């Protein structure tokens, strides 16, 4: 059995939840087995990303035995005389590698987790961002603490035992900034109201995306500590490991990071900085095999993994397969939308906020190509995620008294 050909798909989710586009791959072997994968966050237009995937497959993967995962990784990791963490190439490779594992599972007639160490957990705890779709009259759940608390309670009623919110303002190309007193107070108020609503029935995950200076992150962490968040996510830019180290040593809240990191090299640096919860995205971190190594290294630091998911359902399924095998698994990010379900021939399932152990060979998912083709990406459209292109300051544009 050899890896023979590849097909790529770029689709646009109607709601925009999970990013402005998703990129999927299908690899076919010489004996007709098909495997699917998903690439996360390649920072170019989706049509260009598909060309990159096809070029990489044809250069380094076509004709190879799918069992030789380590060889495939080293070829792509070293592509173009780089041999270092490259977020674009690892995004490309991760989707390809995901499809290879799907093929291996189908070839051996077992779910992928059985090839990665076997069952350690029988079910996976999951969490969700606080989205407005659970409310009959949705307010601004992203910035209004009352609306966020109401939505959080709805998610708890659905069975979730953890919810995440990021109320701390936009993300700019300038890197870290000092948050205004208004932003600090609004963030604190939001967490307070969520905690009052859910009590001890759910953990609160405080998400940020690298928008703070070190000092601002420490100031915010001090405000959040009384409400006992499970983690403080990526408070400083991902290229500022020393800053993350200072934040981690200055707060009792566990610091988490990883959605913008790739390969064991970058995650090892995060562990050395004192990060205690790693958030690899299986569609960017280097694939299942590399992420298994990342999880194993984390064990040495007594750290946990909480795989990041802000994409489509194939990467979600792959992350779950890996998580079932990891002793230091903490929780898995989840997105529930109709489109996530529609693009699969059979949707992923939850039971009261938990994912159960799959039994289907491979990753356990198949693409519904008719739905994908009905929502195509147009050439030159938006990137998967965008950042504010202008600098932001820490001026109080509104007054703190507006916050109730």
pLDDT in tens, 56-89: 999 999 999 999 999 999 999 999 999 999 999 9
Name the β-bridge partners of 125: 354
- As for how many domains the chain has, the answer is 1
Closest CA relative to residue 227, chosen from 181, 170, 163: 163
What pLDDT does 401 receive? Answer: 60
What pLDDT does 49 receive? Answer: 97
> How far apart are the C-alpha atoms of 330 and 277, rounded to whole Å?
8
Closest CA relative to residue 264, chosen from 240, 239, 295, 241: 295
Under the banding of pLDDT at 50, 70 and 90, the label for residue 135 is confident
Read off the CATH number of the domain in which 219 is found.
Answer: 3.20.20.120
Residue 136: is its pLDDT beyond 90? no
Choose between 394 and 221: higher pLDDT. 221
Taking the CA of residue 330 as centre, how many other CA atoms within 13 Å lie in the half-sphere pointing to its CB? 24
> How far apart are the C-alpha atoms of 15 and 128, rounded to whole Å?
16
Q: What is the mean pLDDT of residues 315-335?
A: 98
Name the β-bridge partners of 24: 9, 38
What pLDDT does 391 receive? Answer: 85
The reply to whether 318 falls in a domain is yes
> How far apart are the C-alpha atoms of 95 and 99, rounded to whole Å?
6
| Gyration radius (Cα) of the chain, Å | 21
Place of tokens 């007639």: 109
Are 131 and 152 a contacting pair, CB within 8 Å?
no
The reply to whether 193 falls in a domain is yes
Provide the domain limits for residue 141: 114-362
Structure-token pair, residue 376? 């195509």
Residue 404: is its pLDDT beyond 60? no
Residue 397: is its pLDDT beyond 80? no
Are 314 and 363 a contacting pair, CB within 8 Å?
yes
The reply to whether 128 falls in a domain is yes
> How far apart are the C-alpha atoms of 316 and 348, rounded to whole Å?
9
The reply to whether 45 falls in a domain is no
Q: What is the mean pLDDT of residues 203-207?
A: 97
Q: What is the mean pLDDT of residues 383-400?
A: 80
The reply to whether 233 falls in a domain is yes
Q: What is the mean pLDDT of residues 47-61?
A: 97
pLDDT digits (tens, 9 = 90+) for 112-121: 999 999 999 9
What pLDDT does 170 receive? Answer: 83
Q: For the chain, what is the mean pLDDT?
A: 95
Neighbour count for residue 350 (Cβ, 10 Å): 18
Are 139 and 132 a contacting pair, CB within 8 Å?
yes
Under the banding of pLDDT at 50, 70 and 90, the label for residue 165 is very high
What pLDDT does 317 receive? Answer: 98
Structure-token pair, residue 69? 């995962």
What pLDDT does 379 receive? Answer: 82
């Amino acid at each position: 059995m050899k890896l023979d050909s590849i097909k790529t798909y770029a689709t646009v989710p109607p709601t925009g939840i999970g990013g402005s586009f998703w990129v999927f791959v299908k690899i076919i072997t010489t004996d007709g087995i098909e495997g699917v994968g998903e690439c996360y966050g390649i920072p170019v237009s989706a049509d260009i990303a598909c060309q990159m995937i096809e070029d990489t497959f044809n250069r380094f993967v076509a004709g190879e035995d799918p069992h030789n995962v380590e060889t495939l990784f080293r070829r792509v990791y070293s592509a173009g005389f780089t041999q270092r963490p490259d977020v674009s190439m690892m995004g490309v490779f991760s989707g390809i590698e995901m499809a290879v594992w799907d093929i291996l599972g189908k070839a051996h007639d077992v779910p992928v987790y059985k090839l990665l160490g076997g069952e350690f957990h029988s079910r996976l705890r999951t969490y969700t961002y606080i989205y407005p779709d659970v409310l009959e009259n949705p307010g601004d759940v992203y910035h209004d603490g009352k609306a966020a608390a109401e939505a959080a309670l709805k998610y708890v009623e659905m069975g979730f035992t953890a919810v995440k919110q990021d109320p701390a303002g936009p993300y700019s190309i300038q890197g870290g900034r000092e948050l205004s007193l208004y932003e600090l107070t609004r963030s604190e108020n939001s967490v307070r109201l969520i905690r009052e609503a859910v009590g001890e029935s759910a953990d609160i995950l405080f998400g940020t995306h690298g928008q703070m200076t070190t000092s601002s992150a420490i100031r915010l962490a001090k405000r959040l500590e009384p409400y006992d968040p499970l983690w403080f996510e990526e408070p400083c830019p991902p290229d500022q490991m020393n800053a993350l180290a200072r934040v981690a040593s200055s707060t009792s809240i566990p610091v988490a990071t990883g959605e913008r990191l790739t390969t064991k090299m970058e995650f090892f640096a995060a562990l050395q900085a004192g990060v205690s919860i790693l958030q690899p995205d299986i569609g960017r971190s280097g694939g299942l095999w590399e992420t298994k190594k990342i999880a194993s290294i984390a064990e040495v630091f007594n750290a946990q993994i909480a795989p990041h998911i802000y994409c489509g359902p194939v990467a979600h399924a792959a992350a779950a397969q890996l998580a079932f095998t990891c002793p230091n698994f903490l929780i898995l990010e989840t997105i529930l939308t109709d489109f996530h379900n529609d693009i699969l021939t059979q949707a992923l399932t939850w039971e009261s906020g938990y994912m159960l152990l799959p039994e289907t060979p491979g990753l356990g998912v198949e693409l519904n190509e008719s739905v994908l083709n009905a929502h195509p990406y147009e050439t030159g459209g938006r990137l998967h995620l965008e950042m504010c292109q202008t600098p932001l300051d820490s001026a109080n544009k509104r007054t703190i008294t507006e916050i109730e």
